[in-house]
Copies of this chain bind each other. A is one copy, B any other.
Amino acid sequence: MALLIIGSQRTEEFAAAARALNAGLDIRVWPEAGRVEDIRYALAWGPPMGVLKTFPNLELIISVGAGVDHLLKDPELPDVPIVRFVDPDLTSRMVGYLVLHVLFHTRRMCEFLELQRQRKWEYRGEPAMHEVRVGLMGLGVMGEATAKALKPLGFQLRGWSRSQKSIEGVECYAGQENLDAFLAGTDILACTLPLTPETRGIINRDLLRRLSQQGRHPQLPGPVLINAGRGGLQVEADILTALDAGELYAASLDVFETEPLPETSPLWSHPRVIVTPHNAAETTPEAISRYMLRQIRRHQAGEPLENLVDRARGY
């Protein structure tokens, strides 16, 4: 009975952390898998296509990320349970990232950084927090925790998700048919959607044009996009066009169509774009190992798994 760690650039770190927590566990780090029949569990982040099916006794896959698009894109993925990584540390980091970037753009910091470069002391006037409407796209664990953190600061909150949610202090919208109404009253769009066939490319020019159509405070010069979900959700050429057409005021992007973001991407140098290296909610090896060991224990004890993925839904 062995655990395979596969796909991440940090496999050795994860293995070390898991060994520290459970010295007795037989851990193999891909590509040194040993006898394929031994592997019962896999901790995986974007494993090479077709590899996981080569382990005939695989019983459980644990995703290193909260999203599982990196697993589901494998057409030959074995039909075993998959659990997503949901963890208070991961969630808290995501909340910190989103609150930071919501505040950053509310305070027009791209402009103030530019003024600083020019050594110019200039007032711009910024909206008060209660004058800004933040739209949370995705109302899972992360979206809901972000709402909870933004609420006491005074922001007006709305949220959109696939199925109807009910969160205190958040105006909740659901489904394609209510997307327009959600977008029209959203000044800062903060996205934590999972990447599924339905959401791929959803952040395109058409969507960006529909943002903040009514009632935006005059001191926020235009709508803002924050994407901390997945790069596949966004069409980067459309984001750049929308920025340059003045349809979008600014953006903070943590995820990209291709990662690492290619050196040639114009996003790097756009004065109203903040680029971060997919670090909004980086997993610590200790946290992921603790979580993984708990799921393995539950599985062995026949207890229900946490955060089990619905493959049809895609998350």
Listed in ascending order, the chain A residues whose CB lies under 8 Å from chain B are: 89, 92-93, 95-97, 99-100, 103-104, 106-107, 109, 112-113, 115-117, 119, 121-126, 128-130, 148-149, 152-154, 259-261, 263, 268-269, 274-277, 279, 282, 284
Contact = CB atoms under 8 A, between A and B. Distances in A.
Contacts of A260: 121
A279 B152 contact: no
A109 B99 CA distance: 14
Given A97-B107, A113-B113, 17 more contacts: A92-B129, A92-B130, A93-B128, A93-B129, A96-B129, A100-B100, A100-B104, A103-B103, A112-B276, A116-B268, A117-B269, A119-B268, A121-B277, A123-B282, A124-B279, A128-B284, A149-B152
A281 B274 CA distance: 24
**This chain: copies in complex:** 2
A181 B154 CA distance: 34
A303 to B, nearest CB: 28
Contacts of A99: 99, 103, 153
26 contacts: A89-B128, A92-B153, A95-B153, A96-B103, A96-B107, A97-B107, A99-B99, A99-B153, A100-B104, A100-B107, A103-B103, A104-B104, A112-B276, A112-B277, A116-B268, A116-B274, A121-B261, A123-B277, A123-B279, A124-B279, A126-B279, A126-B282, A128-B284, A148-B152, A149-B152, A149-B153
A103 B276 CA distance: 14
Contacts of A109: 100
A45 to B, nearest CB: 14
Contacts of A97: 107
A113 B95 CA distance: 20
Nearest to A132: B96
Contacts of A100: 100, 103-104, 107, 109
